Structure 1
C-alpha cells in the first residue's frame, strides 16, 4: 500500500499535481490541512481515497479538525497540529498519541518536514508543498509504504 502524505498547499496546487503524477499510482492521499478551499479539487485529482483535515487557514469549511482511523495494523491520528502547539515542541502531540493509543501521528502547520520514532509512536510532518520553511526551502512530502508483512516505512521526499 502506498500513501501520499502532504500538507500546507495553501490553494497553490501545482506542486501537488506534479507529485501525484510523479508517484502515482497511490492507494490513499492524506492532506494535513491548509488546503484553503482546494479540497474538492484535491479529491478529484487524487483518484483514490482522500483524508483531509482543517488547518488554521481553512476558514468556513466543513473539514474535520482531526481524524483517527486504521491503516493496516496501525492506529493513525491526523491533525493540522496547531491545537497541539507543534510550533513549540512535540510534547503535547506525543502525550495525545500515548493517551489515545495512537501508533502514527501525522501533522502539518510548521511547513518543515519531521520524522521521529519515539517509544513505538511514529510522529511525522511532510512539510509544505507550497511554502517550505526548512533549510533549502524545497517543497516536501512523505510517502508511507506498507509492505507485504504489514510494516510501515516512511520516506521524506523533496521537489526540485
Structure 2
C-alpha cells in the first residue's frame, strides 16, 4: 500500500532552506501545507483538538536535522518511475484530494505505472491523510487486505 505517494516529490527550495536555517518556520509551513482544508477548520473526530498543533508537536520532537534530511531525500530521489514500473504485486494507492505535498495528479500518474494498482482518493484530505481521515484510510486498507488475502 502506498499512501500520499508519487514517483517524485520535488520540494520547494524555500522549504528546504527553512528546514536548515529557520526550523520553526519550516515546521509551520509543513503542517499548514500538509493538511487539507478540513484540518484547518479543526474538523476532527475529537472536537477542540488541532491537527496542525499535533503536527507541530510531533515535528518539534524530531532530532534537529531530521526534516532537512527528509526533504533533501525526497527532492533528490530520481528513480520513482523505474521503481513504480517494477512493482508486480497488487498495490493500493491511497491518495488525498487536497494534497499539496504530493499532488493528486502525481499520485495518479504513479498508480498508472504500477501494473496492478487500485486507487482510492480521500476527499477533503491533505498529505497527512492517515491522521486527518483515519477511518477512511483504515476502511480502504481493510477492504484491500481482505480482497488480497482471499
Please give the TM-score of this superposition, normalised by the length of structure 2. Answer: 0.29
Structure showing greater radius of gyration is 2
Higher RCO, 1 vs 2 (CA within 8 Å, ≥6 residues apart):
2
Which protein is richer in strand relative to its size? 1
